[in-house]
Structures are given as structure tokens and as C-alpha cells.
Amino acid sequence: MISEERIIMEAKLSNIEKKIGVTFKNKDLLQQAFVHRSYLNENKDFRLDHNERLEFLGDACLELIVTDYLYNNFPNPEGELTNWRAALVRGAMISQIAKKLGYEDYLLLSRGEAKSTGRARELILANTFEAVLGAVYLDKGYKAADKLVKKHLLPRLPEILDKKLYNDPKSMFQEVVQEKTGITPVYKLEHEEGPDHAKVFTMAVFVGEKRITEGKGYSKQIAEQEAAQKAIEIWAETLE
């Protein structure tokens, strides 16, 4: 007899498949994509592993798919294409796509992580987007993964180009600050957490002695870019 919990889970997985337009042969791969490490700390007998290996694979798939698309559709030089790709695959962008697809409703998190909001939840959603992509690649192959990215992520490219969202945030913020104050922004590590293979860094950006804001990421560079992007948006307010 199938348990009620299993019936609910199968219904959820079916809903996800409809959202992304992929029917899995191995449903466990799809479910695993939504398993956060913290969930296993409170559910040690859960039959599946967490999603970090799928995320690792999906990250590589995402970069290849976006790179292939840009290379074959735009004659621009390598430097410009690199900036466009970075804008498309950055955490803030793919977390928006994950949220739009409703991934948040299917996350398996610890009670503590379930209460997370803001940047912490954004990181979880971005990682889940990559994990789902990795699962699609394993179950259905490259073409299915390519189709998923082209349907849900690449339509954001015109907006990125129109609004010049591909500009390097650190360079942009430095240019603005130096023009107004003559000071070069400085980034400082404030905190790091998590296991060695999945550390999250918190970098703060300062203008002189004034702390403007912070950013988080799985590398110091990503965290600095996040901090710079946020600083650009609030810079005028901090000077008041």
C-alpha cells in the first residue's frame, strides 16, 4: 500500500515536471535536486542524498549551454560575451527564475533553513536551479537541459543588453565613487561559513571608513560583485 506521504510527493514531482516541461524516467533524481544538506541533518534516514553533486553538474551544464548560445548567435568579442554570460548565470538571476518556476514550494529544508529569507534563500534557490538542471541532464540528456535553459533563462538576455546589466558591478561602483569622492572602494571579508567544499563568504564594501553594504557568495569574488551591485543601488541614500 502506498503511503499518503509518497502520494503527496509524487503529486509534487508531477507538478514540477509540468512547470519545467520535462518528464523524468528516474523521479528520484528530480526529488534529490530539492534536498538541501540541512534537511538530512534532521532526517538522517531519508533515502536520498542532498543536491550538492547535482548542483555541481548543473553549474557546468548551465555555463556550457549559455556559452554555446552566445557564441553561435553573436559575433561580439570574447570579453563582451563573457560579461553577458556572467550576467545571465549569476545567482541573483537564476534564483529569480527558480522562484518564478515555483521551486520554493518544493524545497526540503531543515526547520532553521525553512525560516531563511533574503540572500540566504536566494542562494538556496539558485543552487536548486542548477541542481534541477543537472538532474535533467542526467535523466534526459544535453538537449533537454539546453531546452530548459533556452525556455526559462535566455529570454532575459534582451533585458540584460538593453539595461546594460552585464557591466561589471565592481568597476561600475568604483567609477561612481571615485568620480564623487576620489576614494577607491575596499572589500573586506566579514564572515565565512559552511563546509570546505561549499563555503559561503560574506564580503563588505567600504568607502573610506563607511561600511556601505555586504554581499554573499560561494567565492570571495562573487560576494564582492554582489556587494558592489547592492552598493550601486543604495549609494545615493548612504550619502544623505
**Which residue out of 55, 122, 130, 214 is catalytically annotated?**
130
Specify whether 49 is catalytic: no
Specify whether 196 is catalytic: no
Domain 4-161 class in CATH = mainly alpha
Looking at residue 147, its pLDDT comes to 97
Answer whether residue 17 shows pLDDT above 70. Answer: yes
What are the boundaries of each domain within the chain? 4-161, 169-238
Question: What is the band of 3 on the pLDDT scale with cuts at 50, 70, 90?
Answer: low
Give 88-106 pLDDT, tens digit per residue.
998 888 999 999 999 999 9
Query: Backbone dihedral region of 181: left (phi > 0), alpha (psi from -120 to 50 degrees) or beta?
Result: alpha
Q: 169-238 has which fold?
A: Double Stranded RNA Binding Domain (3.30.160)
Residues 6+ apart with CB under 8 A from 166: 80, 83, 84, 86, 87, 160
Looking at residue 1, its pLDDT comes to 41
**Which residue out of 59, 113, 122, 226 is catalytically annotated?**
59
How crowded is residue 20: how many other Cβ atoms within 10 Å of its Cβ? 21
Looking at residue 237, its pLDDT comes to 56
Give 109-166 pLDDT, tens digit per residue.
988 888 877 767 888 999 999 999 999 999 999 999 999 999 999 999 998 898 777 8
